[in-house]
Structure 1
Amino acid sequence: MAVAAADAREVLPGAGRDHVVVFPLMAKGHTLPLLHFAAALAVHHGDELRVTVLTTPGNVAFVRRRLPAPVRIVALPFPAHPELPAGVESTDALPSRSLLPAFLRATALLREPFAGYLASLPSPPLALVSDFFLGFTQRVASEAGVRRITFHGMSAFSLALCFSLAIKTPPAASVHDGVPFRVPGFPESVTITADEVPQAVAQAADVDDPVTRFLADEVRDWDYRSWGVLVNSFAALDADYAAILESFYLPGARAWLVGPLFLAAAESSEGDDDPEGCLPWLDERAGRPGSVVYVSFGTEVHVSAAQLDELARGLVDSGHAFLWGVRSNAWAPPVDPGSDGKIVRGWVPQRRVLAHPAVGGFVSHCGWNSVLESLAAGRPMLEWPVMAEQAANAKHVADIIGAGFRVGTKTSGSTAAAEALVGRAQVAEKVRELMDGGEAGRRMRARAEHVRQAARAAVGEGGTSRLALRQLVDELQSSHDGGDGRRSDQQYE
């Protein structure tokens, strides 16, 4: 049941040191992993913890469908903002990407309702887990004596990369000439090029960029004070970068690698939504295992109509069956996809699609959620990063994990690079390489399968992620029960 903050005392009469509050940003890619985290707590620690997820009224239905019954939902009123259309409460509902800064500013106005919710509880909760964009939660939580764990939605590799490069910029020669350079604090074997620098770092010097200003005004001064960092990844992928990440927070902070969270949640929170009939369509092709290429650029990436045209023609020319999730309702395919091509506009149950035996590869923007879902299904990737830290994720998958390769276009933080057109011939060639790639393709598939097994082992009994979740709960409880807490409250206020 969703309730307003003022009613929380009635709904949660026993709220206290056995109570964890989870507060995601209202963006699907940020919300889903924290819903999985809430579900994982309920599944594995429901006998000792109660979990509440905070959201806004317009997101309650989406959240409710993806949580097990014991997890409670509290709806805080979404603040009005003069630049936002009425009723827009999530980033995927924004009519234009240019409204994202206004949306973020509106979320910052949730500070008072959130403070009111905490004040309405009989006693402070054990911990708050909140999205890093909701920087106000750190200050409010500290004032209430609550430990806050921050969540960035990135791998430890990419997040540590962001923090490292924010302190020490790339050498000028590397920026201009594409020369690989080492990242301070990273293993010597890891080098990157300027095109792989995350967008937020590349744009940090642009003080006129509204998202950069929001991060400076509302996020950065609070994030580093967090008690810990929740990471949707696992040790086999990210153990080498956890200590680097921890070094950017206050002494004693931990990076908790507890993913893949959708597996940790026992896959209980995806729901059965398949409004486009993706799974029955794949079932018709189950007799040809690995024959379908799945294509998706996620819920946030904008792809121009010209690029969609080239992608459509290239997919048809590749000779491979394809299932393609397109976010644009205005674009019309310039070519008939035929019986072996399916283009859908609505929600796609992506994890179930990737796990389907008919699917053999994934053309992806390399958002971290999609990367994890592809690797957990053992599917190699054709990487087409566009924004944010996606190029760094592509670097991680292609050059360190060895389970993918890039489409070949530049993907730095510059707008011109991100919008470089990939022609239909290149699309067709790369899709065939992904699906038929000979010895190199077999090695890539073997690596993806290895990671699939490691992901499942991590969340299984005795696995690294399962143990990390247990240790996180134990440390939170012991620090409030007179045990050996890692830091006193004064150290993170």
Structure 2
Amino acid sequence: MEATKPHIALLASPGMGHLIPVLELAKRLVSHQSSKVTVFIVATDHASIVSSQLLQPPAGSDGDDLLVVLLPFIDISDMVGSGVSYVRKIEATMLRSVLFFRIEISKMESRPTALVVDMFGTDALGVADEFNMLKFVFVTSNAWFFAYALHTTEIDIKEIDEHVKNRKPLKIPGCRPVMFEDTNETLLNYPNDPSYERFKDIFIKMSLTDGILMNTWDELEPTSLKALRDTRKVPIYPIGPLVRPIEKSVLCSGIMNWLNKQPEESVIYVSFGSGGTLSIQQVIELSWGLELSQQRFLWVIRPPTEKDAAGAFLTLTNGSDGNLDYLPDGFLARTHDRGLVVPMWAPQVEVLNHPSIGGFLTHCGWNSTLESIANGVPMIAWPLYAEQKMNANMLTEDIGASIQAAAMESDGLVTRGEIRSMIRKILVDHEGRNIRARIKELKNSAAKALAEGGSSYNILFQLAEICIQHLNTKAFGA
């Protein structure tokens, strides 16, 4: 008798940008593809939150079909110093977690049919080889970024120098070129950044897998996906957009009560993600921009930092005690009738789904981008780090779902006048009508891709069938 339910293992890297899409992929494999899924999570500040979400299996599924295994907390203090980038911290954490992951796999009575890791988990692919598992990599960003990253690991030094030193556009076969101002900081620091060589190693390992899953969909990025498929190096599976569902929470009743009192599509939601921070000067300019716009706003705020735009990455807090004395004098009093400032956190998906939200000022992390598209909310793109500049460019130039913030001063500040103008354009000005209409089209496209018969639904079904075939092959010893 043929086996019909593959067992798929997912290994998630630290950070909400990786954990959330892995969580949603797990739920979708269980609820729509009748798979058994075990999610392995490295213990960090985020682990308790994510694991508690995962422990609730999707409606209608067997409670035993979705399991969570928390790997031990990884101490990397002897590998990286306190001042290193968040990328190096993730790399070190995942490298050291492989041993614990292998131990957990070896103890399982029913070992997984396939292993899915994200880009930082490729060191664990050797475990898949050892236990005869199919191996896939889940790219939690978009196809254009993946094509760029893949290309930069294959080109010669002269082409990199032309891009980095002479600021020439980086041409990507079959895709739009990447402008110097949008390129990733890992490449900007080449050859002095050790992450670059690590980057190359990751993509070599990815090219030897059974396929690359991507949190995008065919209708959103047809050109970039075609270019990747034309390389024929490894199968490409766009299965997105995988975003968090709307889940009511008693923790956010104050926010939702405030939103309930606002007119439809009248509020600009401001958030720089779970890790993004601004300088004190930029916080002041943003405060004034919000005030001068005379529009309603919901601002999720983190204490400013002068050191690192990703200053809160991998932590749930960055030292906030709720004190907002870094805001301009009188700001809260002057805007109390039209604004709400929330320290540190808000239930983003529920906020974006609220009818009073008319725009999203975002750092353009890919999770936030997809959540905004899925809820039909136009964006002001304000990238901070990683691939966010590329995301912002794509949203503005290719997709037409946003306008992009421009640094107006020599010190890189986005000025209050620019902020005022962007907010009004997204919410009320006539010139923003095309963006507001375009985001509604994208919302429908995203929903169709995931619905039964849609492009992403069909591709995920194909993936499940591949796992079933491999399971049956193992069962019969072929």
> What range describes the TM-score normalised by the shorter chain of this pair?
0.7 to 0.9
Matched, 1:128 2:115: yes
How far is 1:228 from its partner? 1.1
Task: State the match for 2:297 in structure 1.
Answer: 322
Distance in 2 separating the partners of 1:103 and 1:237: 29
* Distance across 1 between alignment mates of 2:436 and 2:394: 16
C-alpha change, 1:19 and 1:311, in structure 2 (3 Å) is same
TM-score normalised to structure 2 length: 0.83
Q: Is the 8 A contact 1:151 1:230 kept in 2?
A: yes
Structure 1 residue ranges without an equivalent (≥5) = 1-14, 86-93, 411-415, 484-488
User: 1:81 maps to which residue?
Assistant: 76
Alignment match of 1:284 (pick from 255, 261, 283): 261
**How far apart are residue 262 of structure 1 and its match?**
2.4
Q: 1:455 to 1:146 in 2, by over 3 A?
A: same
| Mapped partners of 2:206, 2:451: distance in 1 | 31
Aligned residues: 439
Q: Is the 8 A contact 1:385 1:391 kept in 2?
A: yes
Structure 2 residue 245 is matched with structure 1 residue 257: no
Residue aligning to 1:296: 271
Decide whether the 8 Å contact of 2:170 with 2:177 is kept in 1: yes
Check the 8 A contact 1:409/1:422 in 2, yes or no: yes
2:220 to 224, 234, 237: 237
| C-alpha distance in structure 2 between counterparts of 1:104 and 1:276, whole Å | 38
Secondary structure, counterpart of 2:121 in structure 1: coil
RMSD over aligned CA atoms reads 3.0
Evaluate the alpha carbon distance shift between residue 352 and residue 206 of structure 1 in structure 2; reply closer, same or farther with a 3 A threshold.
same
Residues 264 and 355 in structure 2, CA contact (< 8 A), matched pair in contact too: yes
The residue number in structure 2 matching 1:477 is 468
Opposite residue 260 of structure 2, the aligned amino acid is D
Secondary structure at 1:150 match in 2: strand
Change (3 A) 1:277 1:186: farther
Aligned-pair distance for 1:296? 1.0
CA distance in 1, matches of 2:162, 2:15: 37
Q: Which of 457, 474, 478 pairs up with 2:448?
A: 457
* Residues 109 and 239 (structure 1), Cα distance of their counterparts in 2 relative to 1, 3 Å cut: same
Q: Which runs of 5+ in 2 are unaligned?
A: 58-62, 304-319
2-side partners of 1:99 and 1:158: how far apart? 19
| Superposed counterparts of 1:421-440, under 5 Å | 421-438=413-430, 440=431
Question: 1:184/1:364 Cα in 2 relative to 1: closer, same or farther (>3 Å)?
Answer: same
Deviations 1:342-380 (A, max 9, x none): 111233211221111101111111111111111111111
State the alpha-carbon separation in 2 of the partners of residues 371 and 445 from structure 1. Answer: 15
Alpha-carbon separation, structure 1, partners of 2:280 and 2:250: 27
SS at match of 2:424: helix
Look up the equivalent residue of 1:107 and give its one-letter code.
M
C-alpha separation between the residues in 1 aligned to 2:162 and 2:340? 45
Whole-Å Cα distance in 2 between the matches of residues 95 and 302 of structure 1?
17
Question: Which one is further off, 393-402 or 324-333?
Answer: 324-333
Superposition deviation, residue 184 in structure 1: 2.9
Q: Which residue is 1:91 aligned to?
A: none
Which deviates further from its counterpart, 52-61 or 140-149?
Answer: 52-61
Separation of aligned partners in 1, 2:199 and 2:248: 33
1:415-452 deviation digits (Å, cap 9, x = unpaired): x99x71112122112211221231x3111111110000
Counterpart contact for 1:84–1:99, Cα < 8 Å: no
| Identity %, equivalent residues | 28
Q: State yes or no: 1:333 paired with 2:316.
A: no
Distance 1:162 1:213 in 2: 12
Deviates more, 1:64-73 or 1:359-368: 64-73
Given that residues 235 and 465 in structure 1 are in contact (C-alpha distance below 8 angstroms), is that contact kept between their aligned partners in structure 2? yes
Provide closer, same or farther for how the CA distance between residues 312 and 101 of structure 1 changes in structure 2, counting only shifts above 3 A. same
Q: 1:78 to 1:257 in 2, by over 3 A?
A: same
Residue 352 in structure 1 maps to residue 350 in structure 2: yes
Instruction: Name the residue aligned to 1:28.
Output: 16
| CA distance in structure 1 between the partners assigned to 2:143 and 2:238 by the alignment | 8
Asked if residue 155 in structure 1 is aligned to residue 139 in structure 2, the reply is no
**Is the 2:243–2:367 Cα contact (8 Å) retained in structure 1?**
no
Aligned to 1:261, the other structure's residue is in SS state coil
Q: How does 1:409-424 map to 2 (within 5 A)?
A: 409=407, 420-424=412-416
Specify whether residues 143 and 345 from structure 1 end up closer, same or farther in structure 2 by C-alpha distance, changes over 3 A only.
Answer: same
Q: Who is 1:197 aligned against?
A: 183
Distance 1:65 1:34 in 2: 14
- Structure 2 CA distance for partners of 1:471 and 1:103, relative to 1, 3 Å: closer
Task: Please give the per-residue CA displacement for 1:186-223, whole angstroms capped at 9, x wherever unaligned.
Answer: 25xx34421122333333x233x354455456x34423
In the TM superposition, what is the alpha-carbon distance from 1:100 to its structure 2 partner?
Answer: 5.4
Name the amino acid aligned to 1:185: P
Once residues 316 and 129 of structure 1 are traced to their aligned partners in structure 2, the CA distance between those partners, rounded to angstroms, is 46
Compared with structure 1, are the counterparts of its residues 60 and 82 closer, same or farther at alpha carbon in structure 2 (3 Å cutoff)?
closer
Judging changes above 3 Å, is the alpha-carbon distance between structure 1 residues 96 and 173 closer, same or farther for their aligned structure 2 residues?
closer
Q: Contact 1:293–1:320 (CA<8 Å) still a contact in 2?
A: yes
Q: Deviations over 1:42-71 (max 9, x none)?
A: 11123xx21111114454431233233331
In structure 1, distance between residues paired with 2:281 and 2:254: 27
Assess, with a 3 A threshold, how the Cα gap between structure 1 residues 323 and 154 changes in structure 2: closer, same or farther.
same
What does 1:327-406 align with in structure 2 at a 5 Å threshold? 327-328=302-303, 329=320, 332-334=326-328, 335-336=331-332, 337-406=335-404
Tell me the SS of whatever aligns to 2:275. coil
- SS of the aligned residue for 2:40 comes to strand
- 1:101 is matched with 88
Contact 2:164 2:180 in 1 (8 A): yes
Distance, in Å, in 2 between the alignment partners of 1:215 and 1:447 is: 35
Structure 1 stretch displaced more, 471-480 or 360-369? 471-480
Give the CA deviation at 1:20: 0.7
1:3 match: none
User: SS where residue 117 of structure 1 aligns?
Assistant: helix
Distance, in Å, in 1 between the alignment partners of 2:209 and 2:4 is 20
